[in-house]
Amino acid sequence: MAPSPNSPRSFSQLRLYILGDGVYRSRLEELVREKKLQNRVFFFGTRPNEELNLWFSAANLSCLLSSREGWPNVVSEALACGTPVLATRTGGIPEIISSPELGMFVERNVQSIAVGLERALAKSWNRAEIARRSRSRSWDTVAAEVEAFFESTIQHQLEQTLETHLRVIDEMVFDRHGRAIFHNGRKTE
């Protein structure tokens, strides 16, 4: 939480607002007190969903520095509000932040995070474009893509199965009643 010693800029006006609760909250609050950062780091706990868009929209940057994730909605929510994201390359995050115009990636260490924060906060982001690009990935769009993928996969599987059955039939010899009497050169019973 200390400023980077190689920092060319001082972010004396920078404020950190932490939303949500978790197992590390008390330790983080203790660390803020130890470093005397109470006037720069604020804990707001769990907020109602209806309020989150206001927080994202007010933020200059949203950060998700996890060691593991799935497909974190918090990244999509920030982008939908036009807020760029600084994140680690874990889970589905690189698929969500698919362009440098949406956010930046850092390693999960102090130096990388400090440099990433400096760069992200100094960059002039096109928030309207971030929101526009994010909204192009609506639930309907993604559902249609998933549906098309499954349809394509099922169609491919059906074609392969039909091909196999036709090959087997081509290798069979039938009697006058349509019963197979030879298959692969062997008599059937």
Q: What pTM does this model have?
A: 0.69
Place of tokens 């807020």: 83
pLDDT digits (tens, 9 = 90+) for 106-118: 999 999 999 999 9
Q: Which domain holds residue 65?
A: 16-136
126 & 176 share domain = no
146/73 same-domain check: no
- 73-80 helix and 127-135 helix, angle to the nearest 10 degrees: 130
What type of residue sits at position 144? A
Dist. CA 149–CA 9, nearest whole Å = 48
| pLDDT at 137 (0 to 100) | 72
Number of domains in the chain: 2
In a shared domain, residues 78 and 56: yes
Both 119 and 147 in one domain: the answer is no
Segment 90-97 mean pLDDT: 93
Q: Is 6 within a domain?
A: no
Q: What CATH number is given to the structural domain containing 104? A: 3.40.50.2000
| Judgement on whether residues 115 and 28 belong to the same structural domain of the protein | yes
Residues 119 and 32 in one domain: yes
CA distances from 40 to 18, 21, 83, 127 (A): 11, 18, 20, 24
User: Do 128 and 149 share a domain, yes or no?
Assistant: no
DSSP state of 65: -
80 CB neighbour count, 10 Å cutoff = 20
What are the angstrom distances between the C-alpha of 38 and each of 15, 117, 121? 10, 20, 21
Distance CA 177, CA 189 (A): 14
Residues 66 and 158 placed together within one structural domain of the fold: no
pLDDT tens figures, 29-73: 999 999 999 999 999 999 999 999 999 999 999 999 999 999 899
Indicate whether 2 belongs to any domain: no
pLDDT class of 187 with cuts at 50, 70, 90: low
Q: Is the same domain home to 147 and 132?
A: no
Same domain, 93 and 163: no
